[in-house]
Structure 1
Amino acid sequence: MIVNFIENYAKLIVSKPEEVNVSEEKVDDTFTEITIKANSADIGKLIGKNGNMINALKVMANGCKAKDGVSYKIQVLSN
C-alpha cells in the first residue's frame, strides 16, 4: 500500500517519471526499507527544499506504521 503511494507520488514530482523505480525490502516483520531510485537531476526535487518533500513521505509512512505496526525507512538514490 505505502510503496504504491510513494511510487505514484514520486512520479508526479519528478521531470522524468519513467526513470523512477521504487523497491521494498522487508528486513523483518516490524521493519521495511523502501528505496526510491530516480534520475540524478530529479533527486533534489524528491528531497525538496530543506528536506520537506522527503519528510512528507516519511510522515505518510509513519501513519501507515500506526495502522500495520511496521516501521519504514525511506532512501532516495540516483540511477
Structure 2
Amino acid sequence: MVEDFLKEYAKLIADYPEKISTQRLNLDENFAEIIIYADKVDTGKLIGKNGKMINAIKTVISACKSKDLTSYKVSVKSLDE
C-alpha cells in the first residue's frame, strides 16, 4: 500500500515517470525500508532543495504508522544504466 502510493506520487513529480520503481525491504517486524528508484535527472527532484521534498514525503508516510504500526525509512536511488 505505502510503496504503491510512493510510486504513483513519484511519477507525478518525475520527468521520466516510466522509469520510477519501488522496492520494499522488511528490516524488522515493525520496520521497513522503501527505496524509490528513479532516473538520475529525477533523483534531484524527488529529494528537493535542502531535502525538503523527501522530508515532506517522509512526513506523509509517517502517518501510515497509525494504521499498520510499521515504521518506514524512505530513500531515493538513481538507476544505473
Name the TM-score class by shorter chain.
over 0.9
Quote the offset at 1:15 in angstroms.
0.2
Corresponding residue number in structure 2 for 1:50: 50
Give the whole-Å Cα distance in 2 for the aligned partners of 1:33 and 1:21.
14
- Alignment correspondent of 1:9: 9
Query: What is the aligned length?
Result: 79
Question: What is the Cα-based RMSD across aligned positions, in Å?
Answer: 0.8
Partner of 1:30: 30
Alignment of 1:53-68 (within 5 A): 53-68=53-68
Unaligned runs of 5+ in 1: none
Q: Distance in 1 between matches of 2:18 and 2:68?
A: 30
TM-score, normalising length: structure 1: 0.94
Q: 2-side partners of 1:68 and 1:20: how far apart?
A: 25
Give the secondary structure class of the aligned counterpart of 1:15: coil
Seq. identity, %: 48
Q: Which structure 2 residue ranges, 5 or more long, are not aligned?
A: none
SS at match of 2:34: strand
Instruction: Report SS of the residue matched to 2:15.
Output: coil
> Hey, what's the Cα distance between the residues in 2 that align with 1:2 and 1:39?
21
The CA deviation string for residues 10-33 of structure 1, in whole angstroms up to 9 with x for no partner, is: 000010001111110111220000
Regions of 4+ moved over 6 Å: none
